[in-house]
Chain A
Amino acid sequence: MNLLDQFGPPVLPTGLGPLRTAVREFVAEWTPTSTPEKRALSWMGFDADFSRLLGTKGWLGLSIPKQYGGHDASPFERFVVSEELLAAGAPVTAHWIADRQSAPLILRHGTEAQKQRYLPAICAGELHFCIGMSEPASGSDLASVRTKADRQADGSWVLNGRKVWTTNADRCHFMIALVRTDPASERHAGLSQIIVDLTLPGVMIRPIKDLSGHEHFNEVTFDDVRLEADALIGVEGDGWAQATSELAFERSGPERFLSAMTLFRCLVGAVGPTPDARQAMEIGRLAAWLISLRSMSISVTAQLASGEDPVWAASCVKDLGTGYEQDTVEVAMRLIDSLPPGEQAATTRRVLAIVQSMAPSFSLRGGTREILRGILARGLGVR
C-alpha cells in the first residue's frame, strides 16, 4: 500500500452550491426554535418530525435509486447535506442509522420485496432503524455473538438472545441484528443479518441511562420472537462480511469530526472578535484540524463516488476525527476561565458540560480506537 496516495486532492465537484445553500437556509430558519443545549447533542438529538420534514425536502435516501423513493444522487450530495445538518447541530438521530447504513445495506443485499417494503419509507424519513451488533459478552470481539435465530420447518425464524448498547432501539421501528443462524458454528462463520420488527411479542426493550443522564441506548432482549421467513437479509451465513462492509459506511463521514461542532461554535462566539494569543492559538489549532479532517473526508468521499472501498482511509478519518472531537473538549477546558463574562460564556459552560459527558463515547461507538488502529496496522502490513 502506498500510504501517500490514500488521500487525493479534496475536490468537491461544482454544482453543489445550490443544495448547500438550500440546506443552510433551511437550518438557519430552524435554529431559533432550538437551543444550544439541544444542538450540543449533535447526531444524538431525536426529532421524528424534523426527520420527516427532511424527507419531504428530498434530503434523505440521496444515494438510493428513484424507483425506491430515493434520489439517485452522488455521495457528494449526501456529504454536503450531512455536513450542513451536523455543523448546525440539527436533530438527525431518528433517521440517521436508516439513511446511513440500513438503506444501503437493504439496497445491496435485500430481496426485491424487502426493497419495496422498507426503502421508500426510509427515504421519507418515516421508518427508523437501529443496529443490533453488540451483546453483553460481545463488544470489540463481535464474532463471538450468541443471539441466535433458529430456522423452523416452515422457513420462519425463532429469535432468542440479548443485544445491548443499541442506540435508539426504544424509538425505532426495526433493528438489523447480527445473529447466529447456524447453531453449530463458531466465530465468523454461521452469522447472518436479520431484520427484527421491534413491536413483535417477545421483544423487550429497556433504555439505559448514560452518564450524561440521557437514555440514548438500550438493552434489547429476545424471548422466542417469531420472525417471518423473509426477515433474513442477504445470504444466510454471510452476516459477518455484510456487517463489516456496512461498517465502512459509518467510519469516514462528517459525523466523525463534527460531534463537538456546537461547542466549537460557542467557544468562538464567547472568545469574541479580539482573542488574546492563547485563545487565538487554541481556536486556530482546532480550525486547522477541522479543515484538514474535512479534506480527508472529501477525498474519501471521492473514492466512494468512484466505486472504491477505502476501508483504510475511512478508519484513519474516524481515529483522527474522534480524537479531534475529544480535543475540542480539552481546548474548551483550557479556555473556559478566560472567556469574557456574559451570556455567551454561560452558554458555553452549559454546552461544555453536555459535550464533555458525551465525549468518552466518541471513540467507542462504531469500533473502539484500539480496534481501528488494529485495522490500520493490518493495512500497513505489520499484522
Chain B
Amino acid sequence: MRTLLQETIERLLADTVTPDLLRAAETGVWPADLWAEIEALGLPFAAVPEDLGGTGASWSDIFVVVRACGAAAAPVPLPEAILANSLLASAGLAPPESGVIVFAAGSADAPIADVPWARHAQWLALRDTTTGRIALYSLTDARIAPDSNVAGEPRDTVTLAPGSLIADADTSAATDAVLLGGAMLRSAQMAGALGRLTEVNADYANERVQFGRPIGKFQAVQQQLAVLATQAAAAVAAAEAAFLMADPAPDLLTTASAKAVSGEAAGKGAAIAHAVFGAIGFTHEHSLHFLTRRLWAWRAEYGSDAFWAERLGRTIAAAGDDGLWPLVTGAFAETTNP
C-alpha cells in the first residue's frame, strides 16, 4: 500500500506542480485539474474505512502522501481533506462523495479563524467546541473573510450560514483531535519540504561556481548542507513515528515530539538553505521560497515547537524521574511492552 501510494502521489505532483502553477495559486487561482486527478485517485478518502467508501489505509502508509505534498509544496488541501474525512468517519458520518473538504475546530455560531483553504472548499468538518460533536457543514453559503499565512496559503475566517449543517454525531475523539491531527499533518509536510530543500541545495551547490569551482567544494558549505540533511532526517523520523502511532487517533507523545522537532528543524533548515542560495534565493522569481515560506508557516500552525515542547514537558514532569524512560520507550508500539 505504502509503495503504491508513494509512487502515485509523487508522480502526480511531479507532473503537475510547476513553479508556474505555484505562482498562479498564490494569486488565487484554484488548480482544478490537479484536484480532479486527486479525487479520481480517491486520495482524499485514504484514511476512511472501506465500509464507508474509503481506502482504509493506515496513517503510517498515508505518511508518504502527506510528506509528498510538503515536498512538492502542493497548492491543494489534500492533507486537510484526508484528515477531515477521517474525522467524519470516526464519528460514523459518511464523507461527501466529491468536492473539497477541510477541517476546523470552533463554534458553529461564531466566526472560525484560520480555516485552511476555506475559500476553495465546499465542505467543512467541524469539531464543534460548544457541543463537543463532529459536524459536516456545507460552505456554499458561508461568509468567508480571506486571509493567508506567510506562504500565501489561504487561511480564511469562516462564518457558517444558518441551515448549512448537513449531519452531526457524537464523537469519542479527544477534545484536541483537530489540534493534534493538524500538528501531525504539518510535521510530515515540513519533513517533506526539508527533504526536498536538501536535494535542491545539494544540486545548487554542485552547479553554482565561485572562485573557479562549485561552491559545494568548499568545506564550509558542505558542513552546512550536512546540518540541513540531519535536520531533514530528524523531521522525517519524528513524523514517521507520529504517523505510525496515529491509529486509531493521533497520539500525544509522538505528535508533540514530531511537531517540536520538525518545527525546530524547519527554522534551522530554511536558514541554511537561504544562506547557501545567496541572493538569487532571496528573489521572488526563484522557487526556493515556495518551500522556505511554507516551512515558516507550517512551523507556526497547530502549535509551535515551543507550545508542543511545553505540553510534552508537563506530561514528562508528571511522570517523574522514574517515569521518564518507560514513557519514552512506551512511545512506540512494542505490543508486549509493560
Contacts and interface: CB of A to CB of B under 8 A. Distances in A.
Interface residues of B, number: 72
B271 interface: no
Contacts of A298: 332
Given A288-B261, A291-B328, A296 B320 contact: no
Contacts of A12: 332-334
Contacts of A376: 225-226, 229-230
Given A15-B336, A287-B312, A10 B241 contact: yes
Interface in A1-17: 3-4, 6-12, 14-17
B198 interface: yes
Contact of B233 (A279, A280, A285, A313): A313
A299 B237 contact: yes
B333 A288 contact: no
B254 A291 contact: yes
A342 B60 CA distance: 45
Interface in A295-320: 295-296, 298-299, 313, 316, 319-320
Interface in A353-375: 370, 372-374
Contacts of A292: 234, 237-238, 241, 257-258, 261
A294 interface: yes
A299 B334 contact: no
Contacts of B332: 10-12, 294-295, 298
B225 to A, nearest CB: 6
17 contacts: A4-B232, A10-B237, A17-B334, A17-B335, A20-B334, A88-B325, A268-B320, A284-B260, A284-B308, A285-B312, A287-B316, A291-B254, A292-B237, A295-B332, A374-B219, A377-B216, A380-B226
Nearest to B227: A373
A383 B219 CA distance: 9
B206 interface: yes
Given A292-B241, A295-B240, A281 B313 contact: yes
B309 A10 contact: no
Interface residues of B, dominant DSSP: helix
B310 to A, nearest CB: 4
B230 A320 contact: yes
Contacts of B311: 280, 284
A8 to B, nearest CB: 7
Nearest to A16: B334
Contacts of B63: 9
Contacts of B219: 374
B148 interface: no
B244 interface: yes
B279 interface: no
Given A12-B333, A284-B256, A381-B206, A273 B241 contact: no
| Interface size band for A | 35 or more
A269 B260 CA distance: 22
Contact of A280 (B191, B237, B313): B313
B172 to A, nearest CB: 25
A319 B232 CA distance: 13
A7 B237 contact: yes
Interface of B: 60, 63, 67, 71, 191-192, 195, 198-199, 202, 205-206, 214, 216-217, 219, 221-223, 225-227, 229-230, 232-234, 236-238, 240-241, 243-244, 253-254, 256-258, 260-261, 264, 305-306, 308-322, 324-325, 327-329, 331-338
Given A7-B240, A274-B317, A17 B336 contact: yes
A275 B314 contact: yes
A42 to B, nearest CB: 14
Contacts, number: 221
Given A287-B313, A295-B332, A10 B321 contact: no
Given A279-B313, A291-B253, A382 B334 contact: no
Contact of B230 (A10, A261, A273, A316): A316
A313 B60 CA distance: 20
Contacts of A280: 309-311, 313-314, 317
B246 to A, nearest CB: 11
A340 to B, nearest CB: 12
Nearest to B236: A7
A382 B226 CA distance: 10
Nearest to B327: A287
A284 B314 contact: yes
B222 A377 contact: yes
Contacts of B240: 7-10, 295, 299
Interface of A: 3-4, 6-12, 14-18, 20-21, 24, 83, 87-88, 261, 264-266, 268-269, 271-275, 277, 279-285, 287-296, 298-299, 313, 316, 319-320, 370, 372-374, 376-377, 379-383
Contact of B222 (A3, A290, A373): A373
A272 to B, nearest CB: 7
B331 A382 contact: no
A295 B238 contact: yes
A382 B237 CA distance: 23
Contact of A281 (B234, B309, B334): B309
Contact of A4 (B192, B222, B234, B261): B192
A74 B164 CA distance: 57
Given A83-B329, A280-B314, A284-B313, A14 B335 contact: yes
Nearest to A380: B202
Given A14-B335, A284-B309, A376-B226, A6 B316 contact: no
B260 A288 contact: yes
Contacts of A374: 219, 222-223, 226
A273 B226 contact: no
A383 B305 CA distance: 33
Nearest 4 CB-CB pairs, A to B?
Answer: A17-B336, A284-B313, A269-B321, A280-B313
B257 A14 contact: no
Contact of A283 (B225, B236, B313): B313
Nearest to A378: B222
A316 B324 contact: no
A289 B261 contact: yes
Nearest to B216: A382
A175 B105 CA distance: 63
Contacts of A285: 260, 264, 305, 309, 312-313
Contacts of A265: 321, 324-325
